[in-house]
Structure 1
């Protein structure tokens, strides 16, 4: 089957030209925005030659072809007089679909999903450290918890605790990126939330430190372990930055 035939087969399976809003592609997938999902013949698409899978994600119907193949299919689709878009344009259109609740959930996932690998990796390191420092495991090697060097605990804490200590910075970075701001600015703002100059929130909670008093009566502490304040900070920073940028362009 030629690429032109594959393109025609896909168009028919997607419900025809009137059901296809726009088409774009990334390195391996064809990304299609459709007017009505119910008109898609999903089984027929998955049975189409060279298609390796298809699914809905973030308001887009994504058809997997693989590197190189997707470019040829996209070129064949362009010859069918369909509306084609860039990846960013089709993503922006997808973000406008669905109810307000669905869009909010999609936005939260866009912010937090990129952070999952770092948190999972450090969580695995934390579990591994807990395992190897168990008295029962140490006894196998003739050791006790007291025989573990202090430096070993310090080094493993760097591996396991860093991502969680600076979680607000990671969240602010990701939120700023998602909402169209400069990620580096979001990162710096997030680091300010956990700055060593601020009393540690955990230390204040355990009574080991006192909060700073802003204007003499507003207690101020660090935001260690806080997610929502960092998300709001990243959002507001991105919106303010975009507003300033637009104002400067209009001068």
Structure 2
């Protein structure tokens, strides 16, 4: 008998039984369930379980917060129920069945744009820094900018334009790459 056997039994009763579980996975602190009928989940009953810290529904997944011992809880759950282990990506795909059309569309767009957000943020920061050194008059009683008084910073100002704009210039390439990666087509980009 495992450490969480009683809690697992209570959890299974609370979510409508083992047969209501389409798939289950976990992340650092949460169990991620995709339920065949989410309405069967008794949230009040689940949140009264000793090891459960809270629950919520997001992206078609019923998520239960367990905390740092989630991997132990998950392994015992798999062992006691005989469910198949699944990854977060498999759970995401299965969770889409519980979303309406608009939610599925937004989910797909989020998966496409999430990998390129760091590049967009960096491009914006670079252009913002460029504007500070090139457009805000700090010197000679507010009449000259840093680039007006320093040849070095004028060169940096011009160079940052190249880097900052390149990120946005190649944004369509980044979006295309992200779409191809999402659809699993990145293996076919090599020309024969």
Q: Does the residue aligned with 2:184 lie in a helix, a strand or coil?
A: coil
The answer to whether the 8 A contact 1:29-1:66 is kept is yes
> How many Å separate the matches in 2 of 1:172 and 1:140?
48
- Please show how residues 105-116 of structure 1 align to structure 2 within 5 Å: 105-116=106-117
Report the counterpart of residue 72 of structure 2 in structure 1.
72
> How many Å separate the matches in 1 of 2:141 and 2:122?
27
Report the counterpart of residue 170 of structure 2 in structure 1.
166
> How many Å separate the matches in 1 of 2:162 and 2:67?
39
Deviation at 1:147, TM superposition (A): 2.8
Q: Does the residue aligned with 1:80 lie in a helix, a strand or coil?
A: helix
> How many Å separate the matches in 2 of 1:122 and 1:43?
46
Q: Could you tell which deviates more after superposition, 136-145 or 158-167?
A: 136-145
Gaps of 5+ in 2: none
> How many Å separate the matches in 2 of 1:44 and 1:50?
12
> How many Å separate the matches in 1 of 2:14 and 2:175?
40
Q: Does the C-alpha gap of structure 1 residues 172 and 74 become closer, same or farther in structure 2, counting only changes over 3 Å? A: same
The answer to whether the 8 A contact 2:24-2:34 is kept is yes
> How many Å separate the matches in 1 of 2:121 and 2:45?
37
Q: Does the C-alpha gap of structure 1 residues 37 and 107 become closer, same or farther in structure 2, counting only changes over 3 Å? A: same
Report the counterpart of residue 147 of structure 1 in structure 2.
149
* Highest RCO, 1 vs 2 (Cα 8 Å, sep ≥ 6): 2
TM-score, scaled relative to structure 2:
0.76
Report the counterpart of residue 63 of structure 1 in structure 2.
64
TM-score, scaled relative to structure 1:
0.61
Report the counterpart of residue 13 of structure 1 in structure 2.
14
Aligned length: 186
> How many Å separate the matches in 1 of 2:123 and 2:48?
41
The answer to whether 1:127 aligns with 2:131 is no
Deviation at 1:183, TM superposition (A): 6.9
Q: Does the residue aligned with 2:105 lie in a helix, a strand or coil?
A: helix
> How many Å separate the matches in 2 of 1:25 and 1:94?
13
Report the counterpart of residue 209 of structure 1 in structure 2.
none
Q: Does the residue aligned with 1:2 lie in a helix, a strand or coil?
A: coil
The answer to whether the 8 A contact 1:173-1:183 is kept is no
The answer to whether 1:176 aligns with 2:180 is yes
Q: Does the C-alpha gap of structure 1 residues 122 and 64 become closer, same or farther in structure 2, counting only changes over 3 Å? A: farther
**Any idea what the Cα deviations from partners look like across 1:63-89, whole Å, max 9, x if unmatched?**
33345x222111221233253341143
Q: Does the C-alpha gap of structure 1 residues 56 and 140 become closer, same or farther in structure 2, counting only changes over 3 Å? A: farther
The Cα RMSD (Å) is: 3.2
The answer to whether the 8 A contact 2:22-2:94 is kept is no
> How many Å separate the matches in 2 of 1:183 and 1:174?
13
**Any idea what the Cα deviations from partners look like across 1:96-126, whole Å, max 9, x if unmatched?**
4433443222211111122223212322332
Q: Does the residue aligned with 1:84 lie in a helix, a strand or coil?
A: coil
The answer to whether the 8 A contact 1:24-1:84 is kept is no
Q: Does the C-alpha gap of structure 1 residues 95 and 81 become closer, same or farther in structure 2, counting only changes over 3 Å? A: same
